[in-house]
Structure 1
């Protein structure tokens, strides 16, 4: 059970990666946004933690080498955009067959349906940007956009906008916290701070769950591939 909890603990990842923490953060951001099996990896919390521990004083309080903030500022948006582009490509090429498979430990049909729901509700452009701030949904939104034939050029534009807004905001929040918190007490602040960020990012999902329960689920999203293609042409 501890190993499963470790996988979603950003502090555990940074400590385990050690001197390679900066490179590790870049790889995790790419995997979480580009590989369907990466949905369980920490995204928001890892970015905030990386921003915090790019401060030398904060990193010293945890007993690790400080992460390179310039490398994070430049590298994380590139990895976030590249990962999402891979997800869109996977969806466009094999997404239909991939999403038709039965549930397993790493794949849940409800994850796809939730991403599909937001795609239909907000339209392709807004959905791609908003999904960046929603754990799990951001992993599945990209292949869903590919399956629903969102044009690659249009997806790229909104992918870049959403990716940059997401990673830079999380990093800057962490960097600000790392520079203001007492290094001697950093270990006491990191977990509550990161937890707060995660809870904020989960608010949209919680709101949707409450709405669905009050409305007894509303109209369930139709299976993949049965949408009107006009839906991907909305702004």
Structure 2
């Protein structure tokens, strides 16, 4: 049991991920965080930033390819992850909202993502890339409400490329400009986590969210999310 707990602790440590899993573990985590609802707790922004710092080493260990190809592979993984989330939401539909809460699944995250989607429309897929937790559930909700595939894929591709390239290139070039950057990774990771989670935290604490209206005293959904009928051409 202790080994399992230690493993999950390591999964939120970007330095450990890069040192012990390299590119393959990074790809797996990015896929899980963007496509599987159980991956919402995994590090996204901080992992990409730190991966950008070590991107040349990652490229050297992967057939010595140009580092830009490593960044592109990770962006592609984010695109595929969202596609899986969209497919999962489309197939599971409102049944997810009837699912009982577990340690790794909370209905409130789905409602948060749905409200975010309702507010920003298609652009929610893009904006959610930069918000922890929301980026995991946004594609699932897009599938549940039958968002048009072409529209979803456009924002999916643009969002993943923007998110991955901005985070990794920021880490790469800042490391070039400040050679001692690696000596302060713990503080950098803390700062990134605070900055990226602050909007979500403020919304959760101070925002007047109607999420509680969706559940009764036993945590069961009072209403079902509206599902649009897909228009077939």
Aligned residue among 192, 198, 210 for 2:193: 198
Deviations 1:29-77 (CA, angstroms, capped at 9, x unpaired): 1121111211122111111110011245xx9xxxx96996223221011
Contact 2:125 2:155 in 1 (8 A): yes
Q: TM-score, normalised by structure 1?
A: 0.82
The secondary structure found in structure 1 opposite 2:175 is: helix
Alignment partner, residue 160 of structure 2 = 163
Aligned residues: 216
The secondary structure found in structure 1 opposite 2:152 is: helix
1:113 and 1:93 mapped to 2: Cα distance?
A: 18
Deviations 1:75-123 (CA, angstroms, capped at 9, x unpaired): 0111101110110011001132233211101101111111111011222
Alignment partner, residue 177 of structure 2 = 180
2:117 and 2:152 mapped to 1: Cα distance?
A: 12
Contact 1:91 1:147 in 2 (8 A): yes
Q: TM-score, normalised by structure 2?
A: 0.82
Distance 1:180 1:152, change over 3 A: same
Contact 2:31 2:80 in 1 (8 A): yes
Aligned residue among 62, 74, 77 for 2:75: 77
**How well do the aligned residues superpose, as a CA RMSD in angstroms?**
2.6
Contact 1:132 1:166 in 2 (8 A): yes
Aligned residue among 9, 13, 25 for 1:9: 13
1:3 and 1:24 mapped to 2: Cα distance?
A: 13
- What residue ranges of structure 1 are gaps of 5+ in the alignment? none
1:210 and 1:139 mapped to 2: Cα distance?
A: 20
Deviates more, 1:189-198 or 1:86-95: 189-198
Alignment partner, residue 86 of structure 2 = 88
Give the superposition deviation at 1:221: 6.4
Give the superposition deviation at 1:158: 0.8
Alignment partner, residue 217 of structure 2 = none
2:40 and 2:52 mapped to 1: Cα distance?
A: 21
